[in-house]
């Protein structure tokens, strides 16, 4: 395959990843890395670098729209970005020295964990929840446009989960959106719409914190980065347009089966290197 054919094939695969990611809400970064590794034989570090740039591109557009609509809670986002940024920098440093087989193994486990977390039921929110002293001091409580005030819970535990999400983002080149949702939705009891909007903003910031280290280590290859980023961005746009008409429940089942199979394959791919 010549260079042009390779670029077009990567862009097409990234387009599919971006479309599925937008429809399911997990982003395209977690799909594009295994596609590049398993489908194109790309070294996992270069695949993760391309995925990080793709995550920044798609996150920026979505975050701007949510901010304009007044759904994002910027105080929560900026506070938790402290945790995710610290974790992302540490994770990116580890990615530069970790064995490729080990990275593949961890990525496969993260994929399976993402599939499990996405099956968890939303516990919902309750306006009558007590005021958390830390959340009150940091003024994290807010309200959806036209809705009641929600009270953020268990800020400390949510912060710790965000550190883990940041490490995974930097180490594996993913947005780790499922772990951010776990922290805000399941633990901090933030309304789901706010969780989704704020997570989109945080994903871009977290990826930007670690992409510089990938660049310094030489793992951002323009031959991969440009077609992957453009493909994911175009796919995310199409996915957002298809979201109102596509039967997402059926698609979610197919998607979960797919990432579970990919996760197992990534684990098997990493075992021989061990």
| 10-residue stretch averages of pLDDT, the chain, 274 residues long | 83 84 65 83 87 80 68 86 90 81 81 72 60 88 80 90 86 74 82 78 81 87 89 80 68 72 78 60
Dihedral sign, Cα of residue 138, residue 153, residue 169, residue 171: positive
Cα 112 to Cα 20: distance, rounded to the nearest angstrom: 17
Structure tokens at 148: 């009641």
Dist CA 255 CA 259 (whole Å): 6
**Sequence spans of domains, the chain:** 3-270
Answer whether 155's CB lies under 8 Å from 135's CB: yes
Q: What confidence score (pLDDT) does residue 274 get?
A: 46
Enter the pTM of the model: 0.75
> b/e per residue, 183-211, with b = 16+ CB within 10 A?
bbbbbbbbbeebbbbbbbbbbbbbbbbbb
pLDDT at 62: 65
- Tell me if 30 sits within 8 A of 175, measured CB to CB: yes
């Amino acid at each position: 395959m010549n260079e042009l054919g390779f670029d077009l094939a990567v862009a097409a695969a990234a387009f599919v990843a971006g479309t599925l990611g937008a429809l399911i809400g997990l982003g395209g970064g977690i799909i594009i890395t295994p596609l590049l590794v398993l489908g194109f034989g790309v070294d996992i570090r270069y695949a993760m670098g391309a995925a990080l740039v793709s995550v920044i591109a798609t996150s920026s557009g979505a975050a701007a729209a949510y901010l304009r609509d007044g759904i994002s809670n910027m105080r929560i986002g900026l506070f938790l970005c402290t945790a995710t940024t610290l974790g992302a920098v540490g994770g990116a440093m580890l990615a530069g020295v970790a064995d490729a087989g080990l990275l593949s193994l961890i990525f496969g486990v993260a994929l399976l964990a993402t599939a499990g977390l996405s099956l968890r039921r939303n516990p919902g929110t309750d306006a009558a929840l007590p005021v958390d002293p830390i959340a009150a001091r940091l003024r994290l409580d807010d309200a959806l446009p036209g809705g009641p005030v929600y009270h953020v819970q268990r800020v400390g535990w949510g912060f710790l989960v965000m550190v883990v999400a940041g490490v995974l983002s930097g180490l594996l080149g993913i947005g780790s959106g499922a772990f951010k949702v776990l922290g805000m939705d399941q633990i901090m009891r933030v309304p789901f719409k706010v969780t989704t909007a704020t997570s989109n903003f945080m994903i871009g910031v977290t990826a930007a914190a670690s992409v510089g280290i990938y660049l310094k280590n030489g793992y951002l290859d323009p031959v991969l980065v440009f077609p992957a980023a453009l493909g994911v961005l175009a796919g995310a746009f199409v996915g957002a347009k298809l979201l109102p008409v596509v039967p997402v429940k059926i698609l979610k089942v197919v998607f979960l089966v797919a990432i579970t199979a990919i996760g197992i394959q990534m684990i098997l791919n990493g075992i021989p290197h061990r």
